[in-house]
Amino acid sequence: MEYKKQYIPPSPQKRPQIKLLYPKYLTIHSNESEQGTAQKEHDFLVKKGNNKMFSFHIVVDDTMAIECVPLTEVAWHAGDGRGDGNMKSLSILICQAKDKKKAWRNAAILAAQILVAKNWSIEQIVQHYYWNRKDCPSILREENKWELWLDEVVKEMANLQKIP
Ligand SMILES: [Zn+2]
């Protein structure tokens, strides 16, 4: 999986440049669009006329991840105003455009990397639903997919933490 930093320009609606002082959650989202690759979701954030207060730190699909907002800044993604969802959490948008399973897998790898880097535990990953009861990430909220996905994250964390 390719990882690139392609920061969106500062703006009150998308990148308010508020310092993310004490991050302690990783919030997971998924998109709905069949056309929404990571690149397209990034481009949508900077599209003229898109003035919604909505953005993500990282968007990921079946081939790549794009960091849209620096991980040291607040992004508006949780729908809870100045609550902990926005003010204390990083966000990943899973883009379901092409190979959903692969996107799901890449997101698990990415989440594991963030947790290990920050020395966080699996309990610090939450669904968007946790903050404002939105049905998101819908891709993982059906059946028992969320538990299966968390298992993948835990496995990936163990791989990363293996002593050589
Ligand atoms: Zn969401």
- Would you say 94 and 102 are in contact if contact means Cβ atoms under 8 Å apart? no
β-bridge pairing 64-67 and 58-60:
antiparallel
Beta pairing partners, 15: 11
Q: How far is the CA of 126 from the centre of ligand 1 (A)?
A: 11
Q: How far is the CA of 116 from the centre of ligand 1 (A)?
A: 23
Q: How far is the CA of 136 from the centre of ligand 1 (A)?
A: 5
| The pLDDT value given to residue 164 | 66
Q: How far is the CA of 47 from the centre of ligand 1 (A)?
A: 19
Q: How far is the CA of 128 from the centre of ligand 1 (A)?
A: 5
Neighbours of 4 (CB within 10 A): 11
Neighbours of 92 (CB within 10 A): 25
pLDDT digits (tens, 9 = 90+) for 13-34: 999 999 999 999 999 999 987 7
Q: How far is the CA of 60 from the centre of ligand 1 (A)?
A: 13
Helix, coil or strand: residue 72 = coil
| The pLDDT value given to residue 123 | 97
Beta pairing partners, 67: 5, 58
Q: How far is the CA of 66 from the centre of ligand 1 (A)?
A: 17
Domains contained in the chain, number: 1
pTM: 0.96
pLDDT digits (tens, 9 = 90+) for 136-148: 999 899 889 999 9
CB within 8 A of 159, min separation 6: which ones? 112
Rounded Cα distance between 13 and 18, Å, is 12
Q: How far is the CA of 146 from the centre of ligand 1 (A)?
A: 14
Q: How far is CA 51 from CA 48, 57, 145, in A?
A: 8, 17, 33
| The pLDDT value given to residue 136 | 96
| The pLDDT value given to residue 28 | 98
Q: How far is the CA of 145 from the centre of ligand 1 (A)?
A: 16
Rounded Cα distance between 31 and 37, Å, is 9
Query: What is the token pair recorded at 58?
Result: 């990282």
Q: How far is the CA of 93 from the centre of ligand 1 (A)?
A: 7
Q: How far is the CA of 160 from the centre of ligand 1 (A)?
A: 27
Q: Which residue range is the domain that position 14 belongs to?
A: 2-161
CATH code for position 104: 3.40.80.10
* pLDDT, mean of each 10-residue run, the chain (164 residues): 97 97 96 88 95 96 98 98 98 93 96 97 98 95 94 96 76
